[in-house]
Amino acid sequence: MKETNTRSTPLKAIVVGAGNRSKTYASYALTHPDELQVVGVVDPDEIRRHQLADIHGVAADRRFANLEQLFAIGPIAEAAINGTMDAIHVPTSLQLLANGYDILLEKPIGISREEIMELHKAATERGRKIMICHVLRYAPFYREIRQRIADGVIGDIVNIQTTEHVSYHHMATAFVRGKWSNKEQCGSSMLMAKCCHDMDLLTWLKSGIPPVRVTSSGRQLFFRNDRAPEGAGTRCLTDCPIEAECLYSARRQYIELDRWGVYVWRSIEHLGPTASVEQKLESLRTDNPYGRCVWHCDNDAVDTQSVVVEYADGSTATHNLVGNTSRPCRSVHIIGTKGEISGVMEEGAFTIRHPVSAAGSVYSEELVKLKVSMDMHGGGDLRLVEDFIRIQRGEEASLSTTSLEDSIYGHLLGFGADQAMGQNTWVTLESL
């Protein structure tokens, strides 16, 4: 029998990268202080470092501008929540492993196959645990679907179809104006930045049967200079005569509708949480990147991409990423040898169908209703943290557990899809 660590004290963790995702994961400590305690914060941005540290009551000498300052005083915790930007996930994680920390690592694991394999090798050699923040595995919608598959409800999977529709305002903010708009700057392609979750789902739902080859097609179809409406300027509030009627107006989206403030007001955080409307407008007029015209940015992220996958057992899957949609949602349709499952996460329900050989009937239906959180990950964020703590205690892994070993296949799939799209071919995937 596996020995379980019956911990009576909370897991001590440091936060590396005090951005929005880290803040969300660390918030578990505020509601479950008997299970998790944040004892250190590392971030080069003084404002963000102290904001998060203040929330968790972190001592003044446990607030670090960089990892070197942290390592200089020796280990102060058992685990790290690494929420840095994509391009430094692996470099920072390698340092954390070398200094004795287990890691809860924000996705994507890294920005290349070589990076993630280097991290896997280092974690294995040091005997350290890394869990990846594929939070959709923990969303009740996907977790229950995975359980039904494990129970054999639809037999063996023959085909999986998934979609992600990215809303027009999310696409324009994060992937056109924002920090995930350009691969050279953020390190990740659109597929890996936004659909890394979906690539993981395609491998998790077929857990134990790896993908063997992939192809993909996509492009930057809409948010391009040549698609700009006649008369459009370069910045919404300085030289655009059509701003008032534009769907993507920075004034409308970020001032009047108050959307995506966690990203948009990053450049004026030094003004504090009560920056005035005029201060916000002035930032949009001048150097705030979110004040730019969506058709005149430096973005290279695709806004439509389709992926086709073949697995080792001959089954197939597709994933469609579509940006600039009216309604944001994720959908799934899984067809097995005995039945099928389909649903939309945001609707909080999925349908199970089985063939029926009876007069007047072709198939039976069962509607499975679930409680679904209205956050963008369907309630999976804090369930992930809870599972990480369980693993740190030595308890048995759950069906959703996002170990590094199990999470790598989704990344290999995503990297392969982008390679296939660039080369207009099928790409063969390696196995671990």
Query: Would you list the DSSP string of 94-107?
Result: HHHHHTT-EEEEPS
**In the chain, what are the domain boundaries?**
11-132, 136-222+299-377+399-428, 225-291
Type of residue numbered 141: F
**If you search the block for the tokens 């936004």, which residue do you land on?**
194
State pLDDT tens for residues 204-232: 999 889 999 999 999 999 999 999 999 99
Measured distance CA(404)–CA(130) in Å, rounded: 6
- Stretch 415-428: mean pLDDT, rounded? 97
CATH number of 11-132: 3.40.50.720
* CATH superfamily to which 136-222+299-377+399-428 belongs: Dihydrodipicolinate Reductase; domain 2 (3.30.360.10)
**pLDDT (0 to 100) of residue 223:** 96
The β-bridge relationship of strands 329-336 and 340-344 is: antiparallel
Q: 405: pLDDT confidence band, cut at 50, 70 and 90? A: confident
**Crossing angle of the two packed helices 113-126 and 89-98, in degrees rounded to 10:** 10
Looking at residue 378, its pLDDT comes to 55
pTM of the predicted model as reported, rounded to 2 decimal places = 0.90
